[in-house]
Amino acid sequence: MSRPEYSAPPEIFYNEKEARKYTQNSRIIDIQVQMCERAIELLLLPEDQSCLLLDIGCGSGLSGSVLEDNGHIWVGMDISQAMLEVAVEREVEGDLIMADMGEGVPFRAGVFDGAVSISALQWLCNADKTSHKPVERLYRFFSTLYASLSRSARAVFQFYPDSSGQVELITQQAMRAGFYGGVVVDYPNSTKAKKYFLVLMTGGNMPLPKALDTESNDVHISKRERLKNARGKSLKNSRNWILEKKERRRRQGKDVRADSKYTGRKRSSKF
């Protein structure tokens, strides 16, 4: 199957129609959620602490919703206006900016406690304009990302490389920008479940986390469930979950509708 990044530049490919189709597809939602959960795990954030995270190529906010469900505050950047508009419609909690990651990460030094990027990095390996030099764009992106992270913060990218050459190209530019780390490949022997995670570290060279395989996955899921239960988190979309989410938004100074007896009642659809 032809890859989307070969068909058109991202801001063209993710037009209004594609942005809606993408965000309403339950299979895509499931996969993006799972991959973002795994990326958060690989970030090794301090336990029970709300962190400020950057979501690179945040799209319509599927990955961002996972960050907020895990109690984090996030800022999303994306090049596609249509994807960002769907994120706004979905009333995500994150602040959103329209920006091309190849132009660099436009934030103050040291502001983020971590960064995630789900299914976006491979787009940077393409040259969509004659002025685009993938090596230069990757280097500018990684060096400005490095600067925007607090020391000892990590950045985790789930991405779809088209070859081992692309993995090498990306890793080389990340290391050149000052990061330590490398690629963790989950389920390396499964064509369907195989996933690439680039794990980048700022605070010195630490061993890479262990990749998942079929056996350890069961342990991984039950451990995550246990942790959630232990923390007493509310079930997603329940009244309590919505009340907690609204409270977080109020603390961020956002305009939030008052709670009522209707809060958390089932509605037909968000769209």
Ligand X SMILES: C[S@@+](CC[C@H](N)C(=O)[O-])C[C@H]1O[C@@H](n2cnc3c(N)ncnc32)[C@H](O)[C@@H]1O
Nearer to ligand X by C-beta: 119 or 166?
119
Q: For residues 118 and 199, which CB has a smaller minimum distance to ligand X in the complex?
A: 118
Contact yes or no for 35/195 (Cβ under 8 A): yes
Shortest spacing between CB 25 and ligand X, in angstroms: 10
User: For the chain, how far is it from start to end, CA to CA, in angstroms?
Assistant: 30
Q: Which two tokens stand for residue 63?
A: 């990955």
Which stretches of the chain bind ligand X, using CB under 6 A? 10, 14, 32, 57-59, 62-63, 77-80, 83, 100-102, 118-120, 123-124
Residue 231 C-beta: closest distance to ligand X, Å: 24
- CB closer to ligand X, 14 vs 196: 14
Which uninterrupted H or E stretch holds 165? Answer: helix 164-176
Contact by Cβ (8 Å): 155, 145: yes
Specify whether the CB–CB gap between 158 and 38 falls below 8 A: yes
Burial of residue 87 (CB within 10 Å: 0-12, 13-18, 19+) is buried
Residue among 41 and 246 whose Cβ is closer to ligand X = 41
Percent of residues in the chain assigned helix, strand, coil, to nearest 5: 45, 15, 40
Q: How far is the CB of 205 from ligand X (least distance, A)?
A: 28
Minimum distance from CB of 136 to ligand X (Å)? 13
Residue nearer to ligand X on the CB measure, 38 or 246: 38
Find the shortest distance in angstroms from Cβ 210 to ligand X: 23
